[in-house]
């Protein structure tokens, strides 16, 4: 059933959120995404309901093709939902125009991708600064320094992506995602292209960002060990969230 799996936040965060009367930063209601392949309709999401509260670190797991990435794209405003609602910081993405969703991404969402997706022509410094430039509030050197220092990039800023290791590239991508202080970071398999050691480093950084800066994070992963870094793990199958568990 589409609405069978209504997943609640972890007990600690939920308790905290209730105490502070917090609204979820992200909420989906009966979220559907259907792709068309010729005359055939292929549903990628089949009525997803979920909530993510400010300060949460939520992992989403599931087999390939279960709709994890599609959900990340829809809740991040990269793709339009077919039905249902996505409320991000109180804004309903499903009723927004493409331009409005672009604006929302700019100010409220930070993406981290499996393939890092850094601009190959720019060095690490400009890859990170680019996000601030697009954000439009001008370059904030203090924030930049805090982020670069937190992610251990201070000595690597003049290097281009081709001169950085995979772990370093992903740290630059992380810095780019958080330098404009988004409401939520959406990470799509951030350790998928990394070796164990680099993966661990990136996951620790995500956890640190969450704990030290209170950054809300939703992370997609195949890896149960990686998923365990979150407060909660949501399991997806066939376009639905079928289970949610709290990580202790």
Report the interface residues with another protein, using CB under 8 A. Answer: 73, 76, 78-79, 99, 102-107, 109, 111, 113, 117-122, 126, 129-131, 133-135, 176
The contacts of residue 65 (CB under 8 Å, 6+ apart) are none
Q: On the CB side of 63, how many CA atoms lie within 13 Å of its CA?
A: 3
Sign of CA dihedral 218, 107, 93, 40: negative
Taking the complex as a whole, how short is the minimal distance between the CB of residue 3 and another protein, in angstroms? 25
In the complex, least distance from residue 69 CB atom to another protein, rounded to whole angstroms = 9
Judged by beta carbon, residue 177 or residue 233, the one nearer another protein is 177
We find the least distance from the C-beta atom of residue 134 to another protein, in angstroms, to be: 5
- Residue closer to another protein by CB (options 5, 118) is 118
Q: Which is nearer to another protein, 29 or 123 (CB)?
A: 123
CB of residue 17 to another protein, shortest distance in Å: 27
**Quick one: 34 or 247, whose CB is closer to another protein?**
34
Least CB distance from residue 88 to another protein, whole Å? 13
- Cβ pair 103, 110 in contact under 8 A: no
Pick between residue 5 and residue 75 the one whose CB is nearest to another protein. 75
């Amino acid at each position: 059933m589409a609405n069978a799996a209504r997943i609640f936040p972890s007990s600690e965060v939920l308790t905290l959120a209730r105490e502070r009367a917090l609204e979820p930063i992200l909420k989906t209601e009966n979220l559907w995404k259907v792709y068309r392949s010729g005359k055939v309709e292929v549903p990628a999401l089949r009525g997803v309901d979920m909530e993510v509260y400010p300060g949460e670190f939520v992992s989403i797991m599931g087999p390939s093709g279960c709709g994890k990435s599609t959900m990340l794209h829809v809740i991040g405003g990269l793709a339009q939902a077919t039905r249902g609602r996505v409320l991000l910081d109180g804004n309903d993405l499903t009723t927004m125009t493409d331009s409005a969703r672009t604006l929302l991404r700019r100010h409220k969402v930070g993406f981290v991708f499996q393939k890092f997706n850094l601009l190959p022509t720019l060095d690490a410094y400009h890859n990170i600064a680019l996000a601030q430039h697009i954000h439009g509030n001008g370059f904030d050197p203090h924030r930049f320094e805090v982020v670069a220092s937190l992610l251990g990039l201070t000595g690597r800023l003049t290097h281009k992506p081709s001169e950085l290791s995979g772990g370093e590239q992903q740290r630059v991508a992380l810095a780019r995602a958080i330098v404009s202080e988004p409401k939520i970071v959406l990470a799509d398999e951030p350790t998928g292209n990394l070796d164990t050691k680099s993966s661990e480093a990136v996951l620790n950084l995500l956890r640190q960002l969450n704990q030290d800066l209170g950054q809300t994070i939703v992370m997609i992963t195949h890896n149960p060990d990686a998923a365990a870094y979150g407060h909660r793990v949501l399991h997806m199958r066939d376009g639905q969230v079928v289970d949610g568990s709290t990580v202790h």
